[in-house]
């Protein structure tokens, strides 16, 4: 199993410590604004430390069904794709999109599925119909299984660390989030991943 972490703070100060501790990847954020955004300099520092990078789009509050719609998916998809291109994220890697609550089955098959269709169309629009990035989803086991296995709207799934959410026993995850701690004063969650989880490094 491949070990990593996720964090909402710049991990440059702890990059080497993470690598020495056997962590292989760091999950970081794309967003329109805010200090949690992954920067090019941080991505370079992580890559130079020998760490893979996973990116997840979370802007605003995707914590209830009213956040999600087809139009919002197009908007978030194009914004995330632009961030990836600006960063130099390599072709073939993934951008995850957060569904940060425990939606009902009807929410998932309705507005959330519509959102991910919008993400895919946003990718196609900004890439002239030939997107170079894969789509991943972060959320409950039911969200992950529905979008990846039933509806084929995402290739990768990141199971949230919320044992009380629907289908926490879901075993088809690409990344599984666990309990974390502070490393060098930075709060992190521990994660584990399978061999293919959409990660990347960037060139110096």
Q: How many domains does the chain have?
A: 1
Quote the CA–CA distance of 52 and 19 in Å, as a whole number: 10
User: Using an 8 Å Cβ cutoff, are 145 and 121 in contact?
Assistant: no
Residue 44 domain flag: yes
Give the mean pLDDT of 128-149: 97
pLDDT surpasses 90 at 203: no
Residue 162 domain flag: yes
Q: Which domain holds residue 39?
A: 2-193
CATH number at residue 147: 3.20.20.80
Quote the CA–CA distance of 165 and 183 in Å, as a whole number: 27
Residue 33: what pLDDT?
A: 87
Residue 117 domain flag: yes
The band of 112, judged by pLDDT with boundaries at 50, 70 and 90, is very high
Residue 204: what pLDDT?
A: 81
Say how many C-beta atoms besides its own lie within 10 A of residue 172's C-beta.
13
Residue 159: what pLDDT?
A: 98
Residue 177 domain flag: yes
Residue 88 domain flag: yes
90 torsion bin: left (phi>0), alpha (psi -120 to 50), beta (else): beta
Residue 127 domain flag: yes
User: Using an 8 Å Cβ cutoff, are 146 and 102 in contact?
Assistant: no
**DSSP conformational letter for 78:** H
Residue 10: what pLDDT?
A: 97
C-alpha torsion angle, residues 135, 43, 101, 80 (rounded to 10): -50
pTM metric for this prediction: 0.97
Of 71, 76, 51, 91, which Cα lies nearest the Cα of 137? 76
| Kind and range of the H or E run holding 193 | strand 186-193
Give the Å distances, CA to CA, from 183 to 11, 20, 42, 120: 10, 12, 16, 36
Residue 10 domain flag: yes
- Dihedral sign from CA coordinates of 122, 124, 127, 128: negative
Quote the CA–CA distance of 77 and 127 in Å, as a whole number: 11
Question: Average pLDDT, whole number, for the chain?
Answer: 97
pLDDT surpasses 90 at 90: yes
| Kind and range of the H or E run holding 119 | helix 113-126
pLDDT surpasses 90 at 60: no
User: Using an 8 Å Cβ cutoff, are 55 and 97 in contact?
Assistant: no
Residue 99 domain flag: yes
């Amino acid at each position: 199993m491949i070990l990593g972490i996720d964090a909402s703070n710049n991990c440059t100060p702890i990059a080497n410590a993470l690598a020495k501790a056997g962590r292989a990847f760091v999950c970081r954020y794309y967003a329109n604004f805010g200090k949690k955004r992954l920067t090019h300099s941080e991505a370079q520092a992580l890559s130079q430390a020998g760490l893979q990078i996973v990116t997840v789009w979370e802007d605003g509050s995707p914590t209830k069904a009213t956040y999600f719609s087809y139009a919002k998916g197009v908007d978030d998809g194009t914004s995330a794709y632009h961030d990836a291109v600006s960063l130099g994220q390599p072709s073939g890697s993934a951008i995850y999109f957060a569904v940060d609550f425990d939606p009902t089955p009807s929410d998932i098959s309705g507005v959330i599925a519509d959102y991910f269709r919008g993400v895919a169309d946003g990718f196609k629009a900004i890439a002239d119909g030939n997107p170079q990035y894969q789509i991943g989803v972060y959320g409950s086991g039911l969200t992950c299984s529905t979008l990846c296995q039933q509806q084929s709207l995402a290739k990768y799934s990141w199971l949230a660390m919320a044992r009380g959410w629907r289908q926490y026993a879901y075993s088809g995850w690409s990344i599984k989030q666990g309990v974390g701690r502070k490393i060098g004063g930075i709060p992190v969650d521990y994660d584990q991943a399978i061999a293919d989880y959409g990660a990347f490094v960037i060139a110096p």
